[in-house]
């Protein structure tokens, strides 16, 4: 238990070059939801009075950078090192950076083999280690299947030995309990509502994601083809591990006159597209808790989706859950034609976001967590 008079110092640890660029205010060609959420959490914690630092990927920046808002960014490793080197503290940039940060709590998002190493290092340092999920695949067995025996052991060690495991949904917590025998701390994604929470002008149906297999962009193309009287926009760009998919979808989209692709749009500029959207369509096979859902709901925009985290869409009436393309086609057509239904859903959605995802609400959960 930390001294309640003094808030514990927090250090976010990440090996993602994307997050390094985000925190340094650099331009990006692609941004992931996990990285966006981490930047929002950092800002929220700093605004609440926590001393926050971050151990980040080496992208050529100085050894330590202090951002204009006071965030300490400490450079660690660049690229991969061998497992023996990672476990040798005196020869490990991560260890040296974490010692330099000298935080009370170290926080890492998206479990993997590196999590086991970080957890072990925190125990050596006598510090708390908090591990957080970023997608359902982190705990449902999908990620674990892709790891070799050594990496799988490190991954499982981190989940079982972390001071706390933060999950985004009750469903993720159920996976944690059934597969790892421990309970997590459910903390919803944070999101600051826009100044104007209700759309004034609504023009089109949007899809917002990176172009990769699990997002199934081709399903959105099929939806647009089936509904030629409606306007569709795809917001997003290449995914680093599947760069060919964007060009493939772009070529197919040229034959669909009611569909437009924007290419990559910086996260802070995507709100302009949500401002004028009638619906957000999600065609993913799996998600954690999409930031895009919060961007839509906070503006009173219904979500029509092939995934439904914690069955919220169905239980609370936040849009429509549509597992098949036929379901998507039917429900999108119906909602676009029924302005009153969209408005009613929008009112529920705005209230839901404010009650569950507003920074003031999420901050309270993190305050409770960091008491550990």
Lowest mean pLDDT among 79-83, 102-106, 143-147, 339-343: 79-83
Question: Which class is 10-190+358-371 in CATH?
Answer: alpha beta
Can you give the pTM of this predicted structure?
A: 0.89
Locate 331 and state its tokens.
């429900």
Q: What is the pLDDT of residue 91?
A: 60
User: Where does the chain hold its CATH 3.40.50.2000 domain(s)?
Assistant: 10-190+358-371, 204-356
**246 confidence band (pLDDT: 50, 70, 90):** very high
Q: What is the pLDDT of residues 101-132, one digit of tens each?
A: 999 999 999 999 999 999 999 999 999 999 99
Q: What is the pLDDT of residue 93?
A: 86
Distance CA 319, CA 308 (A): 10
Lowest mean pLDDT among 62-76, 195-209, 270-284, 343-357: 195-209
**262 confidence band (pLDDT: 50, 70, 90):** very high
Going by their DSSP bridges, the two strands 72-75 and 64-66 should be labelled as antiparallel
Q: Which residues contact 88 (CB under 8 A, 6 or more apart)?
A: none
Q: Evaluate if residue 166 carries a pLDDT over 60.
A: yes
Percent of the chain, pLDDT > 70? 92
DSSP secondary-structure letter at 288?
S
Q: Evaluate if residue 138 carries a pLDDT over 80.
A: yes
Q: pLDDT: is 372 or 12 the higher one?
A: 12
Topology annotation, domain 204-356: Rossmann fold (3.40.50)
Distance CA 119, CA 125 (A): 10
232 three-state secondary structure: strand
Contact present, 39 and 12 (Cβ < 8 Å): no
Q: What is the pLDDT of residues 299-334, one digit of tens each?
A: 999 999 999 999 999 999 999 999 999 999 999 999
Q: What is the pLDDT of residue 196?
A: 63
SS3 content of the chain, % helix, strand, coil (to 5): 45, 15, 35
Q: What is the pLDDT of residue 92?
A: 81
What is the residue-averaged pLDDT of the chain? 91
């Amino acid at each position: 238990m930390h001294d309640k008079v003094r808030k514990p110092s927090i250090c976010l640890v990440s090996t993602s070059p994307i997050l390094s660029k985000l925190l340094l205010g650099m331009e990006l060609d692609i941004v992931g939801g996990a990285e966006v959420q981490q930047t929002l959490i950092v800002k929220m914690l700093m605004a609440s009075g926590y001393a926050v630092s971050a151990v980040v990927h080496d992208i050529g920046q100085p050894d330590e950078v202090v951002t204009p808002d006071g965030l300490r960014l400490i450079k660690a490793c660049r690229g991969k090192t061998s497992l023996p080197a990672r476990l040798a503290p005196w020869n490990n940039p991560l260890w040296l950076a974490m010692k330099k940060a000298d935080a009370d709590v170290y926080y890492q998002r998206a479990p993997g083999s590196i999590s086991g190493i970080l957890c072990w290092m925190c125990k050596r340092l006598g510090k708390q280690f908090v591990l957080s999920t970023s997608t359902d695949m982190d705990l449902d067995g999908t990620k674990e299947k892709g790891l070799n025996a050594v990496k799988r052991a490190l991954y499982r060690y981190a989940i079982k030995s972390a001071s706390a495991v933060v999950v985004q949904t009750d469903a993720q917590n159920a996976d944690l309990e059934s597969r790892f025998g421990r309970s997590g701390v459910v903390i919803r994604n944070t999101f600051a509502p826009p100044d104007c929470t209700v759309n004034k002008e609504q023009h089109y149906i949007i899809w917002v994601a990176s172009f990769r297999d699990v997002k199934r962009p081709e399903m959105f193309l099929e939806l647009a083809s089936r509904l030629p009287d409606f306007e569709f926009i795809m917001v997003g760009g290449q995914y680093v591990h599947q760069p060919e998919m964007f060009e493939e979808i772009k070529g197919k989209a040229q034959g669909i006159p009611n569909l437009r692709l924007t290419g990559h749009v910086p996260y802070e500029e995507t709100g302009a597209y949500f401002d004028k959207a009638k619906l957000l369509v999600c065609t993913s096979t799996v998600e954690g808790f999409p930031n895009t859902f919060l961007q839509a709901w906070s503006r009173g925009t219904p979500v029509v989706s092939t995934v439904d985290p914690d069955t919220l869409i169905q239980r609370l009436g936040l849009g429509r859950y549509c597992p098949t393309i036929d379901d998507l086609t039917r429900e999108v057509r119906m909602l676009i034609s029924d302005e009153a239904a969209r408005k009613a859903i929008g009112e529920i959605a705005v209230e839901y976001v404010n009650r569950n995802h507003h920074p003031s609400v999420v901050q309270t959960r993190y305050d409770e967590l960091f008491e550990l």
